[in-house]
Amino acid sequence: MLISFCVSLQWNETIELFRSNMPLRKHRSHFKSYERCFTASEAVDWLHVLLRHSQNFGPEVTRKQTVQLLKKFLKNHVIEDIKGRWGQEDFEDNRHLYRFPPSSPLKPYPKRSPHQASVIRFPDWTHEPPGTSQENIPVRPIVMNSESWYKRHSIAIGEVPACRLVYRRQLTEANVEEIWKSMTLSHLQKILDLDSLEEVLDTKLVNSKFIIHNVYSVSKQGVVILTDKSKELPHWVLSAMKCLANWPNCSDLKHPMYSGFEKDVFKTIADYYGHLKEPLLTFQLFDAFVSVLGLLQKEKIAIEAFQICCLLLPPENRRKLQLLIRMMVKICLNKEMPPLCDGLGTRTLMVQTFSRCILCSKDEVDLDELLAARLVTFLMDNHQEILQAPSSLQNSIEERVAHLRRVQIKYPGADTDATLSAPPFCRQISPEEFEYQRVCGSQEPLEKLLEEIIMDSKLSVKDKKKKLKQFQKSYPEVYQERFPTPESEALIFPEKSKPKPQLLMWALKKPFQPFQRTRSFRM
């Protein structure tokens, strides 16, 4: 869907520029004058310049490819001949008159089907027995008593027990392959900035073994080494490619020499690649590679996206592509190479000859030939980086695998009891079910735990207050619901009435004073 949108967008942009800027003038044909029209050759001249200066196609577009595009314009009623005929008519590079029809030839943009964003997730490597399904099994909530809760939070209160080593479960070959596949596709989805790779790629058809083979089974030159030698290039094709790639001076040439020898060798290679059952980049990955063409303005990002897409290729396709691109580049850079075609430059000849065997769609697309030429041109200019494995992706995957195999230091009490295993699977649930599980799976066990702490008669008042304080700090919402007011909290610890001190009878009297005789003031 995304590729259809992009191709339609480029198609419409090209048509709009063509219709708005193509010079129209008065022409005469068979003693009759026609206003606002143009000849076929004038259209080819003007559109060829437009395509060569377009960032979507580039300077490698040939005049022949421009004629092919104008044929599609005539077939889709973008233009019509001066008598109003189109569709069945053939367009040729001549003086025949054409005009623009009054109706709009623009294609409607395809609507994107509504779907939820699909994120590539890492596998949990839980293999179910044949014939069993855990899709509808409810998740059992973890219930903790006061003792296990206290252990879980022992680190937070500073009581760290001795640690122990936990050896991870050994990863199988299938586990490692699934890690490579999931992380590679996740990285590609991030680079292309897509909500889901389903728009450009059927992820179920991606073979993880291909990715691993393309990364590790390579020669010193970076070319893929095939384990199945029956899928190698035929010996005579490989010899012909080496001959042109390493074309020496005439004095050093050991091959039989005659006029046009190099052209015959090139034709041999072109015939072999032209008769492949499928393009080297495969029909399956056509949309993925075309989507990368939209990133060419950001060269580094486009190179990395091409690197990952090329990792998804079957190893035999990747090897043939590597050898072909290297030969094409060496031929273009070799000043000693005689002209292989009269009237065409060497670079243009390479792109025009091999672009369709490198990339083409299973079903005819309006701009597939021009898109293929643009991709091959970019591939030739950046082949050394594109045709090698991205080091950042390889390092991240290798670190991930090493981490999963590494021994883990575990503190008893830092987690729940070992007997309480985590749910072995994940499944998508509705928002209503999630809300129900959130309340029932977390609130109820916590409320029960709080009641156990409150009703635990073995705890001293000091320890009980300490645990309640910890609980309030960790789960304030549950605690607030149980004790909405300070008075309700005070009821847990009823203060004992202190006995009033008994008043002694002698305390009510004045302190004892010795008897003193007073002198009488009477005279």
- Are 355 and 225 found together in one domain? yes
Examine residue 413 and state whether it is found in any structural domain, yes or no: no
Examine residue 224 and state whether it is found in any structural domain, yes or no: yes
- Are 218 and 328 found together in one domain? yes
Examine residue 156 and state whether it is found in any structural domain, yes or no: no
- Are 95 and 178 found together in one domain? no
**Among 342, 374, 398, residue at a domain's last position:** 398
**Among 398, 416, 438, residue at a domain's last position:** 398
Examine residue 131 and state whether it is found in any structural domain, yes or no: no
Mean pLDDT of 135-149: 52
- Are 95 and 179 found together in one domain? no
Q: Say what the pLDDT of residue 254 is.
A: 56
Q: What is the pLDDT of residues 442-474, one digit of tens each?
A: 677 888 888 888 888 888 888 888 888 888 888
Examine residue 27 and state whether it is found in any structural domain, yes or no: yes
Cα separation, 112 vs 199, whole angstroms:
9
The CATH number covering residue 236 comes to 1.10.555.10
**Among 364, 398, 432, residue at a domain's last position:** 398
Q: Is the pLDDT assigned to residue 109 strictly greater than 50?
A: no
Mean pLDDT of 377-401: 90
Residue-wise burial string across 268-296, b where 16 or more C-beta atoms lie within 10 A, e elsewhere: bbbebbeeeeebbbbeebbbbbbbbbbbb
3-class secondary-structure state, position 232 = coil
- Most confidently predicted of 86-95, 261-270, 363-372: 261-270
User: What is the span of the domain harbouring residue 54?
Assistant: 8-99
Q: Say what the pLDDT of residue 275 is.
A: 92
Examine residue 182 and state whether it is found in any structural domain, yes or no: yes
Report the chain's terminal Cα–Cα distance, integer Å. Answer: 134
- Are 191 and 331 found together in one domain? yes
Q: Is the pLDDT assigned to residue 140 strictly greater than 60?
A: no
Q: How confident is the model at residue 310 (pLDDT cuts 50, 70, 90)?
A: very high
Q: What pTM was computed for the model?
A: 0.59
* C-alpha to C-alpha distances, 195 to 92, 286, 298, nearest whole angstrom: 44, 19, 20
- Are 263 and 373 found together in one domain? yes
Cα separation, 327 vs 275, whole angstroms:
18
- Are 93 and 185 found together in one domain? no
- Are 244 and 378 found together in one domain? yes
Cα separation, 279 vs 72, whole angstroms:
22
Looking at the chain, the whole-number percentage of residues with pLDDT higher than 70 is 71
Q: Is the pLDDT assigned to residue 226 strictly greater than 80?
A: yes
- Are 47 and 195 found together in one domain? no
Domains held by the chain: number:
2
Mean pLDDT of 177-189: 93
Lowest mean pLDDT among 29-43, 97-111, 225-239: 97-111
Examine residue 76 and state whether it is found in any structural domain, yes or no: yes
Give the mean pLDDT of the chain.
Answer: 78
- Are 213 and 334 found together in one domain? yes
Examine residue 377 and state whether it is found in any structural domain, yes or no: yes
- Are 254 and 383 found together in one domain? yes
- Residue partners of 154: CB distance under 8 A and separation at least 6: 160, 161, 413, 414
The CATH number covering residue 33 comes to 1.10.10.10
- Are 208 and 67 found together in one domain? no
> In this predicted model, which residue has the larger pLDDT, 131 or 356?
356
Cα separation, 329 vs 350, whole angstroms:
9
